[in-house]
């Protein structure tokens, strides 16, 4: 059975250094319907156009979850968007809305179930936001891979711009043609080095619109499955819809692209 849209590690052993990983980026079997791996230079990151947020927010009187529609769902979406969570404002509680709720619940220390019940509704009225971890770097992407957090937070000139739920490495053992490894997302400071549009086929499946931060091995990329727990082979999964525009929001260039700090911290 063909495996689809999963982050991957090309047979690298547990504990492999970032330098060694970066050196081992020969990618047999990587193909794309678009360009090959080349640095992408963007002179000016595109702005995010936000719909007008509601003047205030009242907690919904019913439990909101995937599949529901209505004015209360629309109000929820406006509230989350106004707080910089990624989603589409449609009036339908869809997959992207569930992803935004996951991130909101993680940051507000609630059960990450993607359902807006009484506790989540109350928190939406008086929400907490993510505590910046690295304000000395004004424009940066912070990725917290802690299993109870799982969020990506983008700051532009130290202004909160975007919050997204992610799914990082699941910590399980897997094998491919290169051997066996433990699914691990490397922590540390990196840059947005390369972007490839469209689906990219790799030995372990497909990536959607990947932004690579270590050679051709590790990327922030779109995926059809971004569950509320770590599940990837090593990459950072975001929703397919977000992956369509994420690369336009940041600067991508080999060695000098937008800073990416990946860490594992329980703080939110």
Pairing of strands 259-263, 140-144: parallel
Low-confidence ranges of the chain (pLDDT < 70): 1-55
- Report how far apart, in Å, the C-alpha atoms of 222 and of each of 5, 209, 210, 212, 216 are: 8, 6, 7, 12, 15
Give the per-residue pLDDT at 56: 82
**Burial letters 185-204, b for 16+ CB under 10 A, else e:** bbeeebbbbbbbbebbebbb
What angle do helix axes 95-107 and 71-82 make, rounded to 10 degrees? 50
The model's pTM is 0.82
Closest CA to 48 of 242, 257, 254, 259: 242
pLDDT tens digit string along 197-256? 999 987 777 899 999 999 988 999 999 999 999 999 999 999 999 999 999 999 999 999
Give the per-residue pLDDT at 42: 39
Pairing of strands 199-202, 179-182: unpaired
Give the per-residue pLDDT at 55: 53
Question: Which structural domains are found in the chain, ordered by start?
Answer: 18-45+132-263 (2.40.440.10), 71-125 (1.10.101.10)
In angstroms, how far is the first alpha carbon of the chain from the final one? 38
């Amino acid at each position: 059975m063909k495996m689809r849209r999963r982050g991957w590690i090309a047979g690298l052993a547990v504990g492999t250094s970032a330098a060694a990983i970066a050196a081992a980026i020969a990618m047999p079997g990587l193909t794309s319907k678009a360009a090959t791996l080349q640095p992408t230079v963007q002179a000016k990151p595109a702005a995010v156009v936000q719909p007008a947020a509601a003047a205030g927010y009242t907690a919904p009187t019913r439990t909101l979850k995937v599949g529901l529609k209505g004015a209360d769902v629309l109000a929820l979406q406006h509230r989350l968007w106004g707080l910089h969570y990624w989603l589409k404002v449609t009036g339908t509680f869809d997959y992207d809305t569930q992803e935004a709720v996951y991130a909101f619940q993680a940051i507000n220390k609630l059960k990450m179930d993607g359902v807006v019940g009484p506790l989540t509704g109350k928190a939406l009225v008086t929400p907490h936001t993510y505590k910046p971890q690295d304000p000395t770097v004004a424009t940066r992407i912070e990725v917290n891979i802690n299993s109870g957090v799982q969020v990506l937070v983008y700051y532009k000139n130290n202004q909160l711009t975007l919050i997204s739920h992610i799914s990082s490495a699941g910590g399980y053992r897997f094998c491919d043609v290169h051997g066996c490894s433990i699914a691990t997302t490397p922590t540390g400071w990196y840059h947005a080095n390369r972007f490839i549009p469209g689906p990219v086929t790799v030995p372990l499946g497909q990536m959607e619109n990947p932004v690579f931060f270590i050679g051709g091995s590790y990327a922030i990329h779109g995926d059809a499955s971004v569950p509320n727990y770590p599940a990837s082979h090593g990459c950072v999964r975001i929703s397919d819809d977000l992956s369509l525009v994420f690369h336009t929001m940041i600067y991508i260039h080999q060695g000098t692209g937008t800073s990416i700090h990946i860490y594992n911290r329980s703080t939110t």
